[in-house]
Amino acid sequence: MIIQTEIRVISDRSNLQAEDADLLKVAHNAALQAYAPYSQFRVGASVLLADGKIVSGNNQENAVYPSGMCAERVALFFASAQFPNTPIAKIAITAIGNEVELSQPVPPCGGCRQTLLEYETKFDKPIEIIMAAEKGDIYVVKSAADLLPLSFTKKTMNNEQLTINN
């Protein structure tokens, strides 16, 4: 068995679709407002809902680290709380470094990948993930399932056939 993930690399930001450029701008603005007094690593995420609404979130740190929250989950949970029946079409993620201008795209952590997959499963629709830094290449993945090819979902708990996501 071979499992592969397709990542589209956009080297020239002027080649971004206008919708994706706007989504990244909202994510960047959210990162500017992040509460990151400990790591100084500010992350922003913006979610495009199927009806065209955009919501955003940023990382929220706490002196007791497990009590903080990643930007992606802040944005996803807000979207689900405010618009529980509206599918999520895309999420853009970006970060701002403290002392160094970041040039590598910022991927979601494992917990955020699982949360993205949960919303894909809920609506039975892929969520496109756009990952960027302050400069450099932008990575685009068609679905959270592409980032978790051997995923744990409701089907796993129901002992249904394992599906390889790719």
State the Rg of the chain over Cα.
16
- Please report, for the chain, how many H helices and E strands are present, in that order: 5, 6
Q: Which of 74, 103, 110, 69 is nearest to 91 (CA)?
A: 74
* 72 assigned to active site: yes
Q: Which of 6, 19, 72, 160 is catalytic?
A: 72
- Determine the angle formed by the axes of helices 71-82 and 110-123, rounding to 10 degrees: 20
Rounded to whole angstroms, the Cα distance separating 36 from 110 reads 20
Q: Distance between CA atoms of 27 and 68, rounded to whole angstroms?
A: 18
Residues serving a catalytic function are 72
